[in-house]
A and B are shown apart, each in its own frame.
Chain A
């Protein structure tokens, strides 16, 4: 009796201790999200107003070239950034796995950009890619006059300049995660593939890579989240320009709830930003659920088989 009451008392303490967690989980990740979605159906300006206008804000949103370009940009940025960080990250991880003596040094070099803020990243690359005094002029001064590389000042190519900066910042992390994945593969796999005479590069791509799905998924999700959130980098490197060439949804939302004082449209955009994340999480959930189901069936079969044998 006393024991049980004490346990209950402890639980009460646990609930008291968890008040911050509960209030953040419910307050921020349920109420705030619902609030934002609700406001996207209203004509709120700087302050929230609850006069509903249906889907008008969404119509206005898709009618605005600023938003259209933002959406185009985020797909292009996301696709290229994720592809580059994963491919280059994996190549680097494979090469780092070749018993490199200076592994620590290389790791430090590849990973340090991740320690720097995206604002710093943006400002540095803005300077490196400066059309008058950046790489282009340095190369011209060295006699490579034909070398033209100043993507940020041209609306057509500005987004690629942003992608270079993003790849520079994010590849090291991907490399670190994937390298950990490679190192986690059983040594026996390597012995077996050696016995079978499979060349090392094929082992890396056809055997090791499929075996480290977890590490790849982790790196992929990490990059996806950083793509959807990209804000600081854009503000620092181009501030959305030239013109509106490098606008992104995250910048669009912040501009609309602050200087443009159009929270309704901003919240409509924010609601749409939530969609890919929900699809991503939902997809992962389904894959995990199916994997668990397959595993269960497999176990069942094995049990049956072993029962038959005995």
Chain B
């Protein structure tokens, strides 16, 4: 953080660059490297803190490499850390998150694929109007619709249940995913569809036999988008999942903000890394696909 920045003034002699290493070049790299340090520091701090023992943490060398590496905090965070009276660590939260994320991802993608397919090839009266409403929904703050949804879910009897939270995630994933699939199917040649129609295939046949196999790449983008989004969700998990299905993010927050006893920062940081692990792995493995997912999700507008 405190290292000297290589000075680069703006008034270099203009003209052809003498060699590859010019002051401007150094300036560019300096800016990028300093930014990179700012972006990596929190991850570094998290990792280091989680590997230290509490006495070492209390000495206050936040950025230092641990004197002796200890994985006790990780074990404790996973297995025995307490939220209130329950001392089961993060693992129930992890499994709850899996139970929520997997079906929500599948359900929301199937619905969105059908929507996008219908919007591209089977426009019916008003279909674009409903799509417009849905796109508007992508911008609506959740707080505006959350209370009526609580009431409605309670009436139906799925409030604070696993099916409830799965349906909720499918609802809120629908705007962006539908846009994603509509744009994808819209880019397919119409002749393909017409040929299938002439062969006598109907709505569902064309969908299952022609469109679905072709939409594997876009589905991968959608899976990345949904898995990271749903895994990282906190608001819906804390309101709609109920105590029995509390996802990992909610449990993490409870563990860290539990005020009873001494605060074990190493356990907290280990728990934080564990909660971030799944989306981070998805991110590092998927690489370019992740960026594509963001770009696709961001085109709303």
Q: CB within 8 Å of B: which residues of A?
A: 6, 9-11, 13-15, 17-18, 20-22, 24-26, 28-33, 35-36, 39, 47-48, 88, 91-92, 95-96, 98, 100, 106-121, 123-125, 127-128, 132-135, 137-142, 144, 168, 171-173, 176-177, 180, 199, 217-219, 221-222, 225, 228-229, 231-232, 235-236, 239, 249-250, 253-254, 257-258, 263, 266-267, 269-271, 273-274, 277, 280-281, 284
Interface residue ranges of B160-207 to A (CB < 8 Å): 170-171, 174, 178, 202-204, 207
Q: How far is the CA of A6 from the CA of B202 in the complex (A)?
A: 8
* Cβ B279 vs Cβ A106 within 8 A: no
CB pair B279 A33 closer than 8 Å: no
Q: What 5 A-B pairs have minimum CB-CB distances, sorted nearest first?
A: A117-B232, A14-B122, A13-B203, A137-B60, A115-B283
Check if A119 sits within 8 Å of B42, measured CB to CB: no
Chain A residues within 8 Å of B171, by CB? 24, 28
CB distance from B5 to the nearest CB of A (A): 14
In the assembled complex, B258 has its CB within 8 A of some CB on chain A: no
Cβ contact within 8 Å between B148 and A116: no
Asked if A28 and B137 sit within 8 Å, CB to CB, the answer is yes
Within 8 Å of chain A (Cβ to Cβ): is B218? no
**Beta-carbon contact of B269 and A127 below 8 Å:** yes
Chain B residues numbered 265-300 whose CB sits less than 8 Å from any CB in chain A: 265, 268-269, 272, 275-276, 279-280, 282-284, 287, 290-291, 294-295, 298-300
Which candidate, B28-36, B69-77, B83-91, is the interface stretch facing chain A?
B28-36
A36/B145 in contact, CB under 8 A: yes
Please name all residues of chain A whose beta carbon is closer than 8 Å to the beta carbon of B294 when the two chains form the complex: 114, 173, 176-177
Chain B residues contacting A111 (CB-CB under 8 Å) are: 283, 290-291
B272 touches A98 (CB 8 A): no
B220 at the interface (CB under 8 A from A): no
A-B interface pairs (CB < 8 A), number? 282
What's the least CB distance linking A244 to chain B, in Å?
Answer: 17
Query: Please, how many residues of chain B have a CB less than 8 angstroms from a CB on the other chain?
Result: 98
For residue A109, which residues in chain B have a CB less than 8 angstroms away from its CB? 36, 39-40
B262: interface (CB < 8 Å)? no
Closest residue of chain B to A266 (Cβ to Cβ) is B147
Known: A111-B283, A128-B41; 10 extra A-B contacts, CB below 8 A, are A13-B202, A25-B137, A29-B133, A32-B149, A113-B39, A116-B232, A125-B42, A127-B45, A144-B2, A281-B136
Is B142 close to A, CB under 8 A?
yes
CA distance A302 to B285 in the complex (A): 50
The chain B residues found within 8 Å of chain A, CB to CB, are: 1-2, 14, 25, 28-29, 31-32, 35-36, 38-43, 45-46, 49, 57-64, 111, 114-115, 117-119, 122-124, 127, 130-131, 133-134, 136-152, 170-171, 174, 178, 202-204, 207, 228, 231-235, 239, 249, 252-253, 256-257, 265, 268-269, 272, 275-276, 279-280, 282-284, 287, 290-291, 294-295, 298-301
Give the chain A neighbours of B1 by CB distance below 8 A. Answer: 135, 139
Q: Which residues of A contact B284 (CB under 8 A)?
A: 108, 112
A117, B238: Cα distance in complex, Å = 14
Q: How far is the CA of A266 from the CA of B133 in the complex (A)?
A: 24
Chain B residues, CB < 8 A from A257: 146-147, 150
Question: Are B151 and A48 in contact, with the CB atoms below 8 A?
Answer: yes
Q: Choose among A17, A107, A113, A218 the residue that contacts B301 (Cβ–Cβ < 8 A).
A: A218
